[in-house]
Amino acid sequence: MSFVVGIDGPAGTGKGTVAKIISEDFGFINIDTGATYRCVTLKVIENGISINEPDKIIEISKNIDIKLENNNGKQEVYMDNKNVTREIRTKEVSALVSQVSAIKEVRFNMVDLQRKMAENSNVIMEGRDITTYVFPNADVKIYLDASEEERANRRYKENIEKGINSTYQEVLDNIRLRDENDKNKEIGALKIADDAIVIDTTNLTIEQVVEKVKEIIESKLKSEGVENV
């Protein structure tokens, strides 16, 4: 069978962490769709292409090879067979990725890839348009939210842990800019699906969020008569 859990929401709501824990607990494949847009953006930067050259960006998105792998519990990202797990999280990539991901044809190419990654598998997929566009018939649809200050705070701490150099204000500005871009995309804009369950994580720990998401998945599996996936 193929069981799809979609999680959408803005940056810093804990989607990545929640998806990772759930994927391990339920044995689902974890697909971080933001990483696919980040790979295209990294390649654009590496090739010295500007955001004002959409044709070149589209060409890159057509030919890029992206693989998401789980190596001993660590989610690793490969672009053209090179491990770019760290490089795709730099400030430069974060500053440009929402503009790159707003290009319609780039989205079509990445959505094709994301759907292929999920073929015939049980997956947990997180992003911005999973429950509305990539998998509008997902078995479970969740929207995670949180205040922008709390989200910036989480990302800032995460950056420190990862050794990424940034100030709180830079992170907050970047989150605001990306929210604005993500909500106003022509295709695949960030919005709450009519049938999504919204969880406000502002005052919740990651464990509490995971617990809620687990309950939702378990109840859905039960209602579909699935004992073990």
Among 178, 196, 210, 217, interactor with ligand DC by CB under 6 A: 178
Is 157 within 8 Å of 17 (Cβ atoms)? no
Question: CB 112 → ligand DC: shortest distance, Å?
Answer: 13
Amino acid type, 59: E
Residues β-bridged to residue 70:
75
Which residues 20-49 are close enough to bind ligand DC by CB under 6 A?
A: 33-34, 37-38
Strand arrangement of the beta sheet that strand 4-8 belongs to: 29-32, 123-127, 4-8, 140-145, 197-200
- Cβ proximity to ligand DC, 78 vs 221, nearer residue: 78
Distance CA 117, CA 57 (A): 22
Among 30, 61, 101, 159, interactor with ligand DC by CB under 6 A: 101
Report CA-CA distances (Å) from 101 to 24, 40, 55, 142, 173.
Answer: 28, 9, 14, 21, 18
The answer to the question of residue 14 lying near ligand DC (CB under 6 A) is no
Distance CA 108, CA 183 (A): 17
The answer to the question of residue 182 lying near ligand DC (CB under 6 A) is yes
Contacts of 100 (CB under 8 A, 6+ apart): 37, 40, 41, 44, 51, 57, 106
Question: CB 228 → ligand DC: shortest distance, Å?
Answer: 29
The answer to the question of residue 97 lying near ligand DC (CB under 6 A) is yes
The answer to the question of residue 174 lying near ligand DC (CB under 6 A) is no
Question: CB 19 → ligand DC: shortest distance, Å?
Answer: 10
The answer to the question of residue 141 lying near ligand DC (CB under 6 A) is no
Please report, as ranges, the residues that interact with ligand DC according to CB under 6 A: 11, 33-34, 37-38, 97-98, 101, 127-130, 178, 182, 188
